[in-house]
Amino acid sequence: MLYWLFGYLSGSLPFGLWITRLVKNIDIRDGGSGHVGTTNTIRQAGFAPGAAVLILDVSKGFFPIYFSLRAGLPAWSVALVAGFAVLGHCYPLFANFRGGMGLAVSGGTLLAVEPVTFFIILALLILLVLIIRHSARAALFAALLTPFLLYVLNFRGTELWVATAAGLVLAFRFTIDWNRQYRELWLDREES
């Protein structure tokens, strides 16, 4: 249970909020998509701060899973650590529960368990964005399809548990952006 709390607290570190305040002295949640994450950081503060947020957000998912695996937690418990890490990013304790969407954190959880699965799911997400041309809907579908795809590709260990837990949190979170309008791909969001 301590690792579950560690996952949530790690996920709750709002790097996008802190870095944007440091660089531009603004609250990232007051503009763009209103989310505390990489793409909104790029929108509000530029590419370099956005890249830093991406790396830090991936690490928020990576380290709790890495330490959980090292501690020998069973797959179901590691999955809960992953779910709590993503939940912490989406509803962060340290940012009044107004956070991001959780994609980077989810990616970090998969990188810690099985890096190959990260690249498989990244490819799936990119493909869905290109087909659907709406990144929130593509992310929601990717989150729901990931466990099935991993199962078919014979990834049936801890990575499947982690992908399922993180995917359920992502799917729930991305429903809020279902009707958000997008002009083009990822960075050209337009408020509706």
Residue 182 lies in a domain: no
- pLDDT given for residue 190 in this prediction: 44
The structure tokens listed for 27 are 């609250």
- Single-letter residue type at 185: L
The structure tokens listed for 50 are 């956005």
Residues 6+ away with beta carbon under 8 Å from 173: 86, 90, 101, 102
CA quadruple 89, 14, 65, 136: dihedral, nearest 10: 40
pLDDT category of residue 180 using cuts at 50, 70 and 90:
low
- Single-letter residue type at 159: E
Residue 188 lies in a domain: no
On the question of pLDDT at 177 being above 80, the answer is: no
Share of the chain above pLDDT 90, in %: 82
Q: Share the mean pLDDT of the chain.
A: 91
Residue 24 lies in a domain: yes
Range of the domain at 82: 2-177
Residue 166 lies in a domain: yes
- pLDDT given for residue 135 in this prediction: 83
Residue 57 lies in a domain: yes
Domain count, the chain: 1
| Structure confidence by residue, pLDDT tens digits, 75-126 | 999 999 999 999 999 999 999 999 999 999 999 999 999 999 999 999 999 9
Residue 40 lies in a domain: yes
| Structure confidence by residue, pLDDT tens digits, 86-98 | 999 999 999 999 9
Residue 189 lies in a domain: no
Residues 6+ away with beta carbon under 8 Å from 35: 16, 28, 29, 99, 100, 101
Question: Mind giving me the DSSP string for 88-156?
Answer: HHHS-GGGTT-----HHHHHHHHHHH-HHHHHHHHHHHHHHHHHH--HHHHHHHHHHHHHHHHHHTT--
Residue 55 lies in a domain: yes
